Amino acid sequence: MAAKRISQSNINWSALSERVPTHQKSSFLAFKSRSDKYLRAVLANPEQSPKIDWAAYKSKIPNAALVESFQKAYESLKVPYPADTLSAEVDKLRGEMISEIATFKKESEARIVNYKAETDRIKGLLPYAQMTMEDFRDAHPELALDPLNKPTFWPHEPELQPDACKEEKAHH
């Protein structure tokens, strides 16, 4: 089985170029240049190797039996072309990657919806410079001071509170 002749690159270089980060453009262009150079080298050679004119050799070489033995050896030579054993595995991995990408896209779209809702909520808040302590507590109940339910000491930093030592020992 002979290998299929490559006539042009199957890579969509412009679409690939759009996805390459700016700081990697030079590496990408070097890779594309090497790929194009290889393709040109392949296309520079003929698709079929030239035929040998055995009759001309037989007429010029006194020992025709020697030429015939070379001809038989040349014609019996079969260069084994490796069997394609990995395409099925690559296709399987490609299918898995496509499903992982689809799952990631769905999860990302859900995160985007949540982030947009959070962004809209934050845009609807008063500017922090205009907020009172009560407005801040309403906007961020987990961050606000709560002197009744969670009293703290000045400067109200978590690591400076009396409970911080107990919590740190519990984690270790």
Instruction: Tell me the domain boundaries of the chain.
Output: 12-45, 89-124, 130-172
pLDDT of residue 1: 41
Phi, psi at 150, each rounded to 5°:
-135, 75
List pLDDT tens digits, range 27-74.
999 999 999 998 888 888 888 888 889 899 889 988 888 989 999 999
145 contacts 156 by C-beta, under 8 angstroms: yes
Q: How many CA atoms lie within 13 A of 39 on its CB side?
A: 12
pTM equals: 0.43
Rg (the chain; Cα; Å): 36
* Residue range 120-139, pLDDT digits in tens: 998 998 998 999 988 998 88
Listed residue (92, 49, 56) closest to 71, CA to CA: 56
Residue 60 Cα distances to 67, 69, 72, angstroms: 10, 15, 18
